[in-house]
Amino acid sequence: QVQLVESGGGLVQAGGSLTLSCAISGDVLSSTAMGWYRQAPGKQREMVATITSGGYPTYADSVKGRFTISRDNTRIIRLQMNDLKFEDTAKYYCNLESRRQPSGSYMPYTYWGQGTQVTVSS
């Protein structure tokens, strides 16, 4: 099993910066990718940034050049957000894709954290 706990959300002015952290516990060795998604009220959840177990990052077009995803170690995923815009306001969720189910079976499974709110004031 895997547990994800996000932290670092809060209120920030447009143009400011904020760093989100995701602490991972459990079977991190079975992970294939990790990342951050966000969802604003009335909108679908969207991918913000992902990073493979090998360290290769992918970003949504809307955040390229402003956000950076990284791993402090194998159990901490960070999202450095710079030049924040009003449209970045959303609840941000940590995500981990695993090769194993919570039961231990070797089948794909997606874990989610509870989310952390990021609010950008204009």
Assess whether pLDDT exceeds 90 at residue 78: yes
pLDDT value of residue 74: 79
| Interval 9-66: pLDDT, tens | 999 999 999 999 999 999 888 999 999 999 999 999 999 999 998 889 999 999 999 9
Contacts of 82 (CB under 8 A, 6+ apart): 17, 66, 67, 68
Q: How far apart are CA 66 and CA 122, in angstroms?
A: 17
pLDDT value of residue 83: 98
Q: 49: which 2 tokens?
A: 């940034």
Assess whether pLDDT exceeds 90 at residue 73: no
Residue 118 confidence class, pLDDT cut points 50, 70, 90: very high
| Interval 80-114: pLDDT, tens | 999 999 999 999 999 999 999 999 999 999 999 99
Q: 25: which 2 tokens?
A: 């516990």
pLDDT value of residue 54: 87
